[in-house]
């Protein structure tokens, strides 16, 4: 990875992304988990539930699924950099000309504001992404895998526009733009390790304050009792405060409630936009068109008119 080190050394210190530094560790952990999963791939029983349904063993990998996740992660490195380049100009203008003050990057409290601010705003954005279909279209790819492992953590969206808007309050409060990016990268790096079934529940104080693998398994579950729960990034206290926390009781069923059934990364990323377009075109009233775009996933007109066959709106839940 000498080329990566040389590239990062050539960047100004403020623009070096912690996510790039963490990539080698992501790969090491992914390989270790994948190796362990292969050693256990013939495990027949699912100890998490008693419904008799055949499912992959906990923590297992499927090569095509993992390849799709890694492919989406590689593309997201490029798309995220592009979105950050756009955001840098916007944030810098707000920080320089609109913010009533500029906080110093050398003060500890600026980092506290940045890190806690990013985590709270991530919770709010993440919750919105699950409740507004247009934003869900950007996020649903991350939930499309029926496996839950470190490869799933790399299954990232390519459209970061919603997050760029979500962080706007921070430069407005005087947080230097590069600190906003660095804090979000720290948040993203933290979330990598919670995508595993090989770590059970941790000590109660940790489970109470922080997002953990147990909490995040719930978030990726498509079971009715787990839908729209546990949105936290680093801290789970936001979910406890705002009523969206649910503990893990049984092993979740992972993925979308209406599976896409493909490993094509382009379809995984964009199929929901196509479904929204088709539903809008089929709607007879403007308020229904607005509902299909900005309503929650699964929204239907009050008349109960059937949605286009195969669209997510035909399913009342995700």
Beta bridge partners of 83: none
Non-local (6+) Cβ contacts of 133 within 8 A are 272, 276, 292, 293, 294, 295, 296, 297, 299, 312, 313
* Residue 11 pLDDT exceeds 70: no
Per-chain mean pLDDT for the chain: 83
Mean pLDDT of 171-184: 92
- The predicted structure's pLDDT at residue 84: 86
188-233 residue pLDDT tens: 889 999 999 989 999 999 999 999 999 999 999 999 999 999 999 9
Q: What is the DSSP letter of 248?
A: -
The answer to whether 236 and 245 are in contact (CB under 8 A) is yes
Rounded Cα distance between 215 and 124, Å, is 17
Average pLDDT over residues 109-134: 97
First to last CA, the chain: 39
Answer with the residue of higher pLDDT: 133 or 82: 133
Tokens of 309: 């066959």
Closest CA to 235 of 80, 135, 119, 110: 119
Q: What is the pTM of this model?
A: 0.81
* Mean pLDDT value across residues 291-303: 90
The rounded distance, in Å, linking the Cα atoms of 94 and 188 is 24
Name residues whose C-beta falls within 8 Å of residue 173's C-beta, 6 or more positions apart in sequence.
99, 103, 113, 117
Task: Number of helices (H) and strands (E) in the chain: give both, helices first.
Answer: 14, 0
Q: What tokens appear for 103 in the block?
A: 């906080």
pLDDT band at 19 (very low <50, low <70, confident <90, very high): low
Confidence of residue 239 (pLDDT cuts 50, 70, 90): very high
Q: Which residue has the higher pLDDT, 251 or 85?
A: 251
For residue range 54-66, what is the model confidence (pLDDT) as tens digits? 567 776 778 899 8
Paired tokens of 193 = 């390790």
- Look at the chain and count its residues: 318
């Amino acid at each position: 990875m000498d080329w990566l080190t040389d590239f990062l050394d050539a960047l100004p210190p403020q623009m070096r992304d912690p996510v790039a530094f963490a990539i080698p560790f992501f790969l090491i952990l992914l390989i270790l988990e994948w190796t362990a999963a292969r050693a256990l791939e013939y495990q027949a029983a699912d100890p998490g539930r008693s419904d008799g349904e055949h499912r992959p063993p906990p923590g297992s990998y499927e090569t095509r699924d993992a390849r799709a996740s890694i492919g989406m992660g590689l593309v997201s490195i490029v798309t995220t950099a592009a979105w950050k380049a756009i955001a840098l100009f916007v944030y810098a203008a707000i920080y320089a000309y609109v913010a009533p003050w500029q906080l110093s990057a050398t003060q500890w409290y600026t980092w506290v504001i940045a890190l806690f601010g990013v985590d709270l705003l991530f919770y709010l954005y993440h919750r919105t992404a699950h409740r507004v279909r247009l934003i869900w279209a950007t996020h649903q790819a991350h939930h499309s895998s029926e496996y839950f492992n470190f490869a799933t953590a790399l299954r990232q969206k390519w459209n970061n526009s919603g997050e760029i808007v979500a962080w706007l309050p921070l430069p407005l409060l005087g947080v230097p733009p590069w600190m906003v990016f660095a804090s979000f990268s720290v948040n993203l790096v933290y979330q990598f390790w919670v995508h595993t079934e090989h770590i059970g529940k941790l000590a109660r104080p940790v489970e109470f304050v922080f997002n953990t693998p147990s909490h995040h398994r719930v978030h990726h579950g498509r079971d009715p009792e787990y839908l729209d729960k546990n949105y936290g990034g680093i801290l789970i206290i936001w979910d406890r405060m705002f009523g969206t926390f649910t503990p893990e009781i049984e092993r979740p069923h992972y993925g979308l409630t209406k599976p896409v059934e493909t490993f094509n990364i382009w379809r995984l990323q964009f199929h929901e936009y196509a479904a929204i377009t088709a539903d809008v075109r089929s709607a007879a009233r403007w308020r229904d068109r607005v509902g299909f775009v900005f309503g929650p996933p699964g929204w239907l007109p009050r008349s109960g008119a059937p949605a286009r066959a195969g669209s997510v709106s035909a399913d009342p839940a995700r």
